[in-house]
Structure 1
Amino acid sequence: MRFNKLDLNLLVALDAMFTLRSVSRAAEQLHMSQSALSSSLARLREYFGDDLLVQVGRQMELTPRAEVLQEAVRDVLVRVNTTITATPHFEPARSDREFRIFVSDFTMSVLVPHLLVLARAQSSSVRFHLLPQTRQPQRTLEHGDADLLVIPHEFCSPEHPIEDLFKEEFCAVVWDQSRYAKQGAISLAEYQAAGHVVMQPPGMDRTFEYTFMENTGIKRRVEVTTFSFLAAPFLVVGTERVATVHRRLAKEVARGLPVAMLDMPLRVNRMAQSMQWHKYRTQDPGLVWLRDLLHQAVARMDAGIEAVDESNRQK
């Protein structure tokens, strides 16, 4: 098919080469020979009157014209793919669809198990592919690499729809034999003087709580960094270190770890954990089902936490 004398099939090849910055890897992904893809690149260069990709050292780089084209080409392909693959109805009991969800290990630990239980009650064949954090999560939507993001509201893109799922508080987690645990509290001066375990997301600059501390002017002595929210409480055991942890996650790990949860010595804004999807897929029946199921999962998660809290109060 041609549009303005351009073979639109070439856009798929162009998108793959833009993404992978490699003719050989793009050819492998598209199940084409390298010579065939090189021929396609030559036709694209002739059409646009630009080299598009140029060899710089051992890798290929996009030309300024290609940088302009990259997002437009991806946008067109995502819109076409969304239109073609959309179905008028979604029946979870009959679907074998795979949902690709971008989540942190915090969300994966406290919320996703409830999502899976609810999904299993409706379907035995729907699949979930949980994707790790990236530096620019919105690009996973725009590139069609994720169906849904579950991230703090402030990290969401203004270009796509957002729904808040729940609010999250933070607490200080310490070893239950530490001096802070024995005194039952930690002052702001002690908090700032203590050694800290801080989560540094792989491929990302900072977390919600790190940004908050920096903006508030709170100085911490970071002694350990980890790539996992879930690991942070484990890393304070046997030490006098402090980890600032999502309260829901802290409650989960405190059931099996020798740690104590202390109130923060300063007021930390609650984090809005949100979900976001591509604007072209708002009416996708499968995603409508998934978004509703996530809200149900939040209710199930919090009902379970409340039941445990009530049981602990009665002991």
Structure 2
Amino acid sequence: MFKIDHTGLGKLDLNLLVAFDALMTERSVTRAAARVGLGQSAMSHALARLRTVFGDELLIRGPDGMRPTPKALALSAPIRAALAQIEAAVRPERTFDPATEDRTFTIGLPDSVEVLLAPKLVAHLQTVAPGIRLLLRTMDRIRILEDLDAARTDLGIGVFDEGQTHHKRRILHKENYLCIFNPRLVGAEPPITLADYLRLPHVLTSLVESQHGVVDDALAKIGEKRTIALTSPRFTAVPFVVLQAPVIATMHSKVARYFAEAMGLTLSPAPVILPDVAVSMLWHSSYDSDPAHQWLRETVRALMATEPPPGLNLWLLRAQQELP
């Protein structure tokens, strides 16, 4: 069993950790003081004491506010997790009733997930939880970890590498890729051959502004290279380009099915081997047992499990069977 150093820990004012968490969340002495219920001078004094305890400046004033030092960033997540456990242990058991709850959840996600989830989620909330509002933010796979740690975001949804030890991750579904195109403009029909795939200009979606993706890695393995006509950070722009231009795009299968059904475009399996992709939820462990957050995650899981129309599944099965 882990042994607590009661003597050493007793010398630390645990209220300083509350002040530290507020400072890291707000990045402002004034706002952190208001969050905790202290005067500004008292919060400034707490910051000075924290700097002495940890032997580090922790927060440095910059042109756009106070910036945390590397040590402050390293301390932030474990301190927040510890405070959350203390709060859970000492507060009365909280109840959650979605029908009467009045709150806002902030979710970070790419637009490829937003177009599939948001309509169903908003419709569901209006029926069972009309007092719950959503604030959706563009998901950055790097910034999302900082946003979760600072409580700026409640839940991340997308394609993630593993988070840190204080992050929880649950896979919502795994999928592959599909090609989407306008057959009248590209002069090809499904299933797309490798020759047509290489002949046609491509539209690439990249959240990091790179002109290289998983398709390029797959083509490089067989000594081939594609032509990229357009790179965009927005998945929702792609079908409008494909509808009106003689180009092809390779997208996650669920969103590709959605756009093909909605806009009368054609789908085909890709003529190269591409890895499966896992779409996941990511959240801070301090909210793991929170009833409201548990309800949100289960609601998202159930809605994301909705299958595409069966007609599309049958077409894809036939197209895959026709591949050489």
Fold match by TM threshold 0.5: yes
- Count of residue pairs brought into register by the alignment: 299
* CA shift in 2, pair 1:39/1:88, >3 Å: closer
- Which range is displaced more, 289-298 or 37-46? 37-46
Q: Check the 8 A contact 1:197/1:222 in 2, yes or no.
A: yes
CA distance in 2, matches of 1:73, 1:246: 38
Following TM superposition, by how much is the alpha carbon of 1:87 offset from its aligned partner in structure 2, in angstroms?
4.6
1:210 lines up with 2:217 in the alignment: no
CA distance in 1, matches of 2:112, 2:128: 25
* CA shift in 2, pair 1:34/1:248, >3 Å: same
Matching residue within 306, 309, 316 for 1:305:
309
CA distance in 2, matches of 1:45, 1:34: 17
Matching residue within 119, 133, 141 for 1:113:
119
> Structure 1-normalised TM-score?
0.75
Percent pairwise identity: 29
Q: Check the 8 A contact 1:54/1:63 in 2, yes or no.
A: yes
Alignment partner, residue 145 of structure 2: 138
CA distance in 2, matches of 1:262, 1:78: 48
CA distance in 2, matches of 1:211, 1:308: 24
- Which range is displaced more, 191-200 or 227-236? 191-200
Alignment partner, residue 99 of structure 2: 93
Matching residue within 156, 167, 170 for 2:177:
170
Counterpart code for 2:30: A
Q: Check the 8 A contact 2:218/2:274 in 1, yes or no.
A: no
Alignment partner, residue 264 of structure 1: 270
SS at match of 2:236: coil
SS at match of 1:266: coil
CA distance in 2, matches of 1:57, 1:98: 30
Q: Deviations over 1:168-196 (max 9, x none)?
A: 23211223422344x44432243234322
Q: Deviations over 1:59-91 (max 9, x none)?
A: 866556445434443433444566678854321
> Structure 2-normalised TM-score?
0.74
Following TM superposition, by how much is the alpha carbon of 1:38 offset from its aligned partner in structure 2, in angstroms?
4.2
* CA shift in 2, pair 1:307/1:191, >3 Å: closer
Alignment partner, residue 301 of structure 2: 295
Q: Check the 8 A contact 2:180/2:268 in 1, yes or no.
A: yes
SS at match of 1:196: strand
SS at match of 2:81: helix
Alignment partner, residue 102 of structure 1: 108
- Please provide the CA RMSD for this pair: 3.7
Following TM superposition, by how much is the alpha carbon of 1:109 offset from its aligned partner in structure 2, in angstroms?
0.9
- Which range is displaced more, 48-57 or 280-289? 48-57
Q: Check the 8 A contact 1:233/1:245 in 2, yes or no.
A: no
- Which range is displaced more, 9-18 or 97-106? 9-18
Q: Check the 8 A contact 2:182/2:246 in 1, yes or no.
A: yes
CA distance in 2, matches of 1:61, 1:163: 31
CA distance in 1, matches of 2:100, 2:115: 28
Q: Check the 8 A contact 1:87/1:284 in 2, yes or no.
A: no
SS at match of 1:268: coil
SS at match of 1:149: strand
Unaligned 5+ residue runs, structure 2?
1-8, 316-324
Following TM superposition, by how much is the alpha carbon of 1:15 offset from its aligned partner in structure 2, in angstroms?
4.0
